[in-house]
Amino acid sequence: MSSCHLKLAAIAILVVFAVLAGGCARAPVRPTPGPQPPGLGALNRGGQVTEQDMQVVQANLKPVYFNYDQYTLTPESQAAAQYNAEILRRAPHLTILMEGHCDERGTAEYNLALGERRSRSVAEYLTTLGVANRMSTVSYGSELPVDPGHNEQAWTKNRRVHLRVSN
């Protein structure tokens, strides 16, 4: 064989390998949905939600936490709201009360206003996620702390919106 034929053969072999390698590329990996809350499969059946269904939904909802003196959603609080939206979309007959809470710092009036802004922020975000026309808001300010401590650890737990469901 001449050197010209060897070069052509080498190029042909490289082209064949390139085509084969391209054809063997891995299929894109699709993310699997996150863990589904236990006991919510029955909500997909439609119709009226039973008291037991409502208790299961309530037990699986996550609080949405906020930074100090803030009512905007962080990436972590958006993730909690998205998780809650997935649950609430499966229970369209339930109404949701957004309960806004604050830590003990600030005046009572300021904390009531901040708690209201927090609850509205979560309600607006849930609306963008397909949970609409069945939400209301309330603010408890700093009156109902989940942790009665007087330190940053307690305050972090108290800056939240708690979702309460009802028929």
Q: Under CATH, which architecture does the 50-166 domain have? A: 2-Layer Sandwich (3.30)
Q: How far apart are CA 146 and CA 69, in angstroms?
A: 17
Rounded to 5°, the CA angle 56-155-101 comes to 55
Mean pLDDT of the residues in the chain = 82
The identity of residue 16, as a single letter, is V
Q: How far apart are CA 73 and CA 101, in angstroms?
A: 14
Instruction: Kindly report, residue by residue over 102-111, the tens digit of the pLDDT.
Output: 999 999 999 9
Helix axes 75-89, 108-128, angle to 10 degrees: 60
Q: What local confidence, expressed as pLDDT, does residue 167 receive?
A: 86
The two tokens of residue 164 are: 């309460």
The two tokens of residue 39 are: 């006991």
* DSSP state, residue 94: -
CA 135 to chain CA mean position, Å: 17
* Residue whose token pair is 């072999």: 13
Rounded to 5°, the CA angle 117-156-89 comes to 55
Domain boundaries, the chain: 50-166
Parallel, antiparallel, or unpaired for β 135-141 and 64-65?
unpaired
Inform me whether the pLDDT recorded for 122 exceeds 50: yes
Residue-by-residue DSSP string for 100-136: EE--S-S-HHHHHHHHHHHHHHHHHHHHHTT--SSEE
Instruction: Kindly report, residue by residue over 6-23, the tens digit of the pLDDT.
Output: 555 555 554 444 444 444
Instruction: Kindly report, residue by residue over 20-46, the tens digit of the pLDDT.
Output: 444 444 343 333 344 455 556 556 555
